[in-house]
Amino acid sequence: MRAHINGTDLFYEVLGEGRPLLLIHGGLGLDHTCFLPWLEPLADKFQLVLPDLRGNGRSSRASLQGVTHATWAQDLDALRMHLGFPAWAVLGHSYGSYIAQELALLHGESLTGLLLSNSTPAMDYPQQIVENAKQRGTPEQVQELLGALGGPPVTDDAEFGAGWETVLPMYFHRFEERYRQAMRANVVYSAAAFNHAFSQCVPAFDNVPRLGDIRVPTLILAGRHDFITPVEQGAQRLAAGIPCATVAVFENSGHFPFIEERDAFVREVSAWVSALPPTGNRASASRG
């Protein structure tokens, strides 16, 4: 389905019925299919809304000049209103969690709960990422990763996709080839979104001083073996700053616990979202 909102066209998919749960994909440069089929069991209890962010996947590929995390967050709140939801729970994975944080900061009254998977409040630890990558990856994979994150722009979607599939094993605790096959099956890559996110948005991304303003009940989900958003730089800093946050660490996962420990991840998310109040309200400042 498509929605013309906030001056752009967003592609989105809806699965299931019940209270709404927004799933925000990462990358950037990936799309909503990164969640499928792994999170489809959540559709047995919730109405899953899976958009492709502006500039990504099947959504509008118009210029991203001037687009910020706030722009993407405003798009998603406009999608909420388009769908007629007074409030929804929001799960953001990886880069999608940065957009989810912005959504909670700008429109927290419209969130019943916030779920941050494999997240961080700031990517201000580049040397640790480099060292972690060297420990996990082959020289080819490390070179590909560092070139993508710190080199010249990726030239086109095919180059971005090939590079992503090269480094993908580093993002898992125990990689299996079937993961790559499933993730590439339906994805539509976007080099422009990746280039814009990491050249224009990441340098300005620092929510550490803003975390105390997130007054939405928050569940932080982390993989113990995540090299790019390690627990100490991600989950621990988020939990220390967000007033009402709890943490779930998946001991046998890397950056994709909803793939490596799918059943445990689905149970954790399902139980937590089911316990939320049905309409948006800001949590108290005390920890819950």
Mean pLDDT of 172-200: 97
Which sequence spans correspond to the domains of the chain? 2-274
Q: Which of these, 137, 172, 150, lies nearest to 261 by C-alpha position?
A: 172
Going by C-alpha positions, the residue among 84, 79, 110 that lies closest to residue 216 is 110
pLDDT of residue 283: 40
pLDDT tens profile 90-102:
999 999 999 999 9
Q: Taken in order 49, 172, 123, 240, is the CA torsion positive or negative?
A: positive
Rounded Cα distance, 262 and 243, in Å: 28
User: Which position has the higher pLDDT, 177 or 277?
Assistant: 177
Q: In percent, how much of the chain has pLDDT > 90?
A: 93
Q: How far are the Cα atoms of 11, 121, 163, 260 from residue 253, in angstroms, in the given order?
A: 30, 20, 22, 6
Residue 280 has pLDDT above 90, yes or no: no
The pLDDT assigned to 282 comes to 45
pLDDT tens-place string over residues 30-40: 999 999 999 99
pLDDT band of 121, cuts 50, 70, 90: very high
Phi/psi for 21 (5° steps) reads -135, 115
- Band (3; pLDDT cuts 50, 70, 90): very high
Under 8 Å between Cβ of 248 and 221: yes
Q: What is the predicted pLDDT for the residue at 204?
A: 96
N- to C-terminal Cα separation, the chain = 37
Range with lowest mean pLDDT among 148-157, 201-210, 269-278: 148-157
- pLDDT of 151 reads 81
pLDDT above 60 for 281: no
Question: pLDDT above 70 covers what percent of the chain?
Answer: 97
Domain covering 2-274, topology: Rossmann fold (3.40.50)
pLDDT band of 149, cuts 50, 70, 90: confident
Distance, CA of 223 to CA of 234 (rounded, Å):
10
